[in-house]
Amino acid sequence: KAGVTQTPRYLIKTRGQQVTLSCSPISGHRSVSWYQQTPGQGLQFLFEYFSETQRNKGNFPGRFSGRQFSNSRSEMNVSTLELGDSALYLCASSSRGQGGEAFFGQGTRLTVV
């Protein structure tokens, strides 16, 4: 079974630009969550999607948004990039059953210059 695939693996953007990151979950998984990982703040929850609907949202500004498609693939978008948005962005997929743990992708390393 293929794992969670995130593309691209690395990205360099300039302040003020916007970026879109992609996540393909494990086949059959309908829940996708996104996390931001930085040295200072650690791992922080961004949002969760299930069946194309946002179910949970973390404490991030509106510049961070996401969506999920009918095939469960998800994208997250960050607009008006700031230097502080530099981070590893991790996507996790799960079956969303009560015992269904999250499986993580390798992440997208975003650097804002």
Site residues (vs other proteins, CB under 8 A) = 4, 6, 31, 33, 35, 42-43, 45, 48, 55-56, 58, 90, 92, 94-107, 109
What is the CB-side half-sphere exposure of residue 28 using CA atoms within 13 A?
A: 7
The CB-of-16 to other proteins minimum distance in angstroms stands at: 27
Name the CA dihedral angle for 64, 23, 12, 40, rounded to a multiple of 10 degrees.
60
* 14 vs 59, beta carbon nearer other proteins: 59
The CB-of-77 to other proteins minimum distance in angstroms stands at: 20
Q: How far apart are CA 67 and CA 40, in angstroms?
A: 27
